[in-house]
Amino acid sequence: MILVVPLIGFLGLALALAWGMSRNPTAIPSALIGKAVPQFSLPPVKGRTLGLSSADLNGQVSLINVFASWCVACREEHPVLMQMKADNVVPIRGLSYKDLPDNAARWLNTMGDPYTRTGADMDGRVAIDWGCLRRARDLRGHQGRPHCVQANLRGDAENS
């Protein structure tokens, strides 16, 4: 009996570790994958003429990047987005997350604007509907920035 309890504990720990080792640590599950994007309509970021709405995502594959001027990882990834724009990889839509209008405008004017459309999500409601409450990984795998999502031709969300 004395040997059975430690043996059961060891087997339980081994199973838990084996299960953990079989999981992909870079996979970020989302309830939106394969579903239509949430309905929304956002005004443009200050100084821009085109806002962003769910209707803008139908008919072509696009990358939706949620960013903020206060986000350190966003600053690190911004050159990647600018290069994607220069290479015309895919249309990039921007969603300014809980940022002050002047700060978001200054960010895009200073860093460059890779976005074909940019919506100002002042209260963060749209980002929450997109599942941006959790800490997501950026384009280079860093955790802690707002979020990046891809929409397909039908306007369904996909992993990016």
* pLDDT digit string, tens, across residues 30-63: 666 677 778 899 999 999 999 999 888 887 788 8
Give the residue-averaged pLDDT of 135-150: 43
Residue 152 has pLDDT above 50, yes or no: no
Q: Tokens for 100? A: 């002050």
Residue 142 has pLDDT above 70, yes or no: no
3 Cα distance to chain centroid: 50
Per-residue pLDDT at 124? 87
Give the residue-averaged pLDDT of 132-150: 45
Higher pLDDT, 1 or 105: 105
In a domain, 112, yes or no: yes
In a domain, 113, yes or no: yes
Per-residue pLDDT at 105? 95
Residue 80 has pLDDT above 70, yes or no: yes
CATH code (residue 59):
3.40.30.10
The percent of residues above 70 in pLDDT, for the chain, comes to 75
70 phi, psi to nearest 5 deg: -90, -5
In a domain, 123, yes or no: yes
In a domain, 150, yes or no: yes
In a domain, 18, yes or no: no
Average pLDDT of the chain, as a whole number = 78
Q: Per-residue DSSP letters for 64-125?
A: EEEE-TT-HHHHHHHHHHHHHHHTT-S-EEEEEES--HHHHHHHHHHH----SEEEEETTSH
In a domain, 43, yes or no: yes
In a domain, 21, yes or no: no
Range of the domain at 143: 27-158
In a domain, 3, yes or no: no
Count of domains for the chain: 1
